């Protein structure tokens, strides 16, 4: 197991990946909230061919020095593709995805980083279904998330409470070895399967969560949930070959 930089005396640096598709109303606020938490970090924003001016905002944030890297897709390729583009550019010790909306609270990140800093974890999941405060929203969304997590757990033999969470902090040296292929919302299923197959040490901690309604811009639908069940079968039953599992 690799030694974390913190165990050798220096603080961990976080690479925060912000995938954005038509998030012009929130992305600047998200970046400001990330800067407020005071962790050493680089922010990598990826515009997935937005049509609402999100790309121009990312360009301005980059020019003002408020983010370290601004990347763009010339065509819309999906969240998973945007994440893979950013992961390849990450240079921090630990990588985390921060959705460009306001559903996840960056003030939770220092707490989530702790098990990795102590050298006890390779990845930390922030659970929306443990004891953290959360906005009360859709019953069937919660049921769907729990069913997907249960199905994933059956194949990975993990006891996660929230496989679909956006907040997954992962050691960069491990993340960049994982063979990731998902272009869209199958990413959460795939990354969980790959971490399990790599025998990663995974922790789970409660986070705060303020979910959006569809009127506020939520994009995931029931169709994505159905697709996720097929992704669970695909990524768990058909893992790629190679020596990427040793770490």
Tell me the per-residue pLDDT of 44-81, one tens digit each, with 9 for 90 and over.
Answer: 999 999 999 999 999 999 999 999 999 999 999 999 99
pLDDT tens per residue across span 143-193: 778 899 999 999 999 999 999 999 999 999 999 999 999 998 799 999 999
- How many Å apart are CA 165 and CA 156, to the nearest integer? 16
**Phi, psi (rounded to 5 degrees) for 218:** -65, 135
Report the 10 Å Cβ neighbour count for 120.
12
pLDDT at 116 over 50: yes
Average pLDDT of span 88-100: 97
Is it the case that residue 217 has pLDDT exceeding 70?
A: no
Q: What is the largest CA-CA distance in the chain?
A: 48
Give burial (CB, 10 Å; 0-12/13-18/19+) of 229: middle
- DSSP 8-state assignment for residue 110: H
Least Cα distance to 89 among 116, 67, 64 occurs for 67
Query: b vs e for 96-114, b when ≥16 Cβ sit within 10 Å of the residue's Cβ?
Result: bbbbbbbbbbbebbeebbb
Q: Can you give the pLDDT at residue 221?
A: 66
Give Cα 4 distance to the centre of its chain: 20
- d(Cα 125, Cα 202) in Å, to the nearest integer? 7
* Summary mean pLDDT of the chain: 90
**Residue 97 and residue 183: Cα distance in Å, rounded?**
15
Q: Where are the domains of the chain?
A: 10-237
The CATH number of 10-237 is 3.90.550.10
For residue 160, what are its two tokens? 């996660």
Q: DSSP states of 182-233 as a string? A: --STTHHHHHHHHHHHTT--EEEEE--B-PPPTTTT----HHHHHHHHHHHH
State how far the Cα of 200 lies from the Cα of 123, in Å rounded to an integer: 7
């Amino acid at each position: 197991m690799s030694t974390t930089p913190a165990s050798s005396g220096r603080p961990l640096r976080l690479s925060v990946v912000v995938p954005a598709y038509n998030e012009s109303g929130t992305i600047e606020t998200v970046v400001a909230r990330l800067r407020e938490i005071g962790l050493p970090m680089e922010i990598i924003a990826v515009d997935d061919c937005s049509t609402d001016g999100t790309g121009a905002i990312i360009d301005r944030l980059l020019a003002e020095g408020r983010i370290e890297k601004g990347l763009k897709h010339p065509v819309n390729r999906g969240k998973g593709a945007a994440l893979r583009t950013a992961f390849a550019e990450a240079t921090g010790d630990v990588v985390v995805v921060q959705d460009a909306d306001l559903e996840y609270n960056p003030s939770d990140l220092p707490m989530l980083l702790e098990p990795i800093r102590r050298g006890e974890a390779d990845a930390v999941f922030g659970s929306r279904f443990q004891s953290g405060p959360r906005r009360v929203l859709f019953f069937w969304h919660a049921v769907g998330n729990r069913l997907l997590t249960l199905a994933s757990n059956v194949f990975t033999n993990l006891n996660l409470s929230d496989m679909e969470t956006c907040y997954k902090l992962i050691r960069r040296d491990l993340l960049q070895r994982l063979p990731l292929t998902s272009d869209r919302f199958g990413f959460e299923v795939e990354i969980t399967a790959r971490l399990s197959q790599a025998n990663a040490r995974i922790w789970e901690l409660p986070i705060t969560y303020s979910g959006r309604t569809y009127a506020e811009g939520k994009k995931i639908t029931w169709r994505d949930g159905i697709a996720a069940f097929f992704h669970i079968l695909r990524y768990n039953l058909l893992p790629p070959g190679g020596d990427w599992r040793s770490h």
